[in-house]
Amino acid sequence: MLINKLPFLKKKSSEEIRTLKPDNIPEHVAIIMDGNGRWAKKRGLPRFAGHKEGMDNVKKVVKTANKHGLKVLTLYAFSTENWKRPKPEVDYLMKLPMDFLSTYLPELIEENVQIQTIGEFDLLPDHTKKAIQEAKDKTVKNNGLILNIALNYGSRYELVQSIKKTVTDIQNGKYSVEEIDENVISDNLYTSHLKDPDLLIRTSGEIRLSNFLLWQSAYTEFWFTDALWPDFSEALFEQALLDYQNRKRRFGGI
């Protein structure tokens, strides 16, 4: 009874908890898309089949991100460590951006999506770079969702590059050592123009960051699911968004 008289103590109804609030949608969601290989293995298929299914799921996830008005969706598609995989798999993964864009770019353009990437772009094979550069050029004026693909991305490498750039700037007299702060480091990361992720999702039951956005995720909310990436559905994505809305983000305050 007392609870009903004190609105701020009132328990949330299950409906309130289940409905996504449009005013608290995370602006930037980052996803570690894991489990393509296991998805394929479970079906007696080669790993490539899992990656292909995972690629098609990217389009579905972009649609859901757009539906809820996310501003940035960063997807971990290939890490600096993924070069260690067998060459045929690496070659296949390097072909995926081309396949993805040749299939879905017209729809992405229609949906006002802008393609960006993070990672060491110059070290990608020429055909991968060409397909992505074309997509970037064709979508540069779009002002809807930023689909930010992490390709040949490694967070430690990114930090080392940022530190090197900062040291060079000091040597060139741009800053003094005392002037170096968090903003200087952030400004020299691939993500300098993006807000830090509000929510980071990882599929496939693994609970680690695997060298993804280490600096940028200092205050990010994490959400893990056992679902393998090709099975990561709209309903699961919405569950992650709902759980995010029920978190209390304090950024170190009270």
Residues lying near ligand FPP in the complex (CB under 6 A): 33-38, 51, 54-55, 58, 77, 82, 93, 96-97, 100, 149, 204, 229
- Is there a contact between 73 and 148 (Cβ–Cβ < 8 Å)? yes
DSSP code for 209: -
Q: Which residues contact 154 (CB under 8 A, 6 or more apart)?
A: 79, 80, 81, 119, 211
Residue in 61, 34, 39 with CA at minimum distance from that of residue 50: 39
Minimum CB separation of residue 238 from ligand FPP in Å reads: 20
Minimum CB separation of residue 252 from ligand FPP in Å reads: 32
Task: CB nearer to ligand FPP: give 204 or 220.
Answer: 204
Q: Where are the beta strands (DSSP E) in the chain?
A: 28-32, 72-79, 114-118, 146-153, 199-202, 221-224
Identify the H or E element spanning 163. Answer: helix 155-171
Task: CB nearer to ligand FPP: give 72 or 96.
Answer: 96
Q: Which residues contact 207 (CB under 8 A, 6 or more apart)?
A: 224
Active-site residue 34, yes or no? yes
Which residue is catalytic, options 36, 57, 82, 152? 82
Active-site residue 66, yes or no? no
Tell me the CB-side half-sphere exposure of residue 221, using CA atoms within 13 A: 19
Count each helix (H run) and each strand (E run) in the chain, helices first. Answer: 9, 6
Q: What is the dihedral of CA 85, 89, 91, 93, to 10 degrees?
A: -100
Angle at 189 between CA 187 and CA 194, to 5 degrees: 75
Task: CB nearer to ligand FPP: give 87 or 248.
Answer: 87
Cβ-closest residue to ligand FPP? 37
Task: CB nearer to ligand FPP: give 166 or 232.
Answer: 232
Task: CB nearer to ligand FPP: give 199 or 228.
Answer: 228
Task: Please list the active-site residues.
Answer: 34, 82
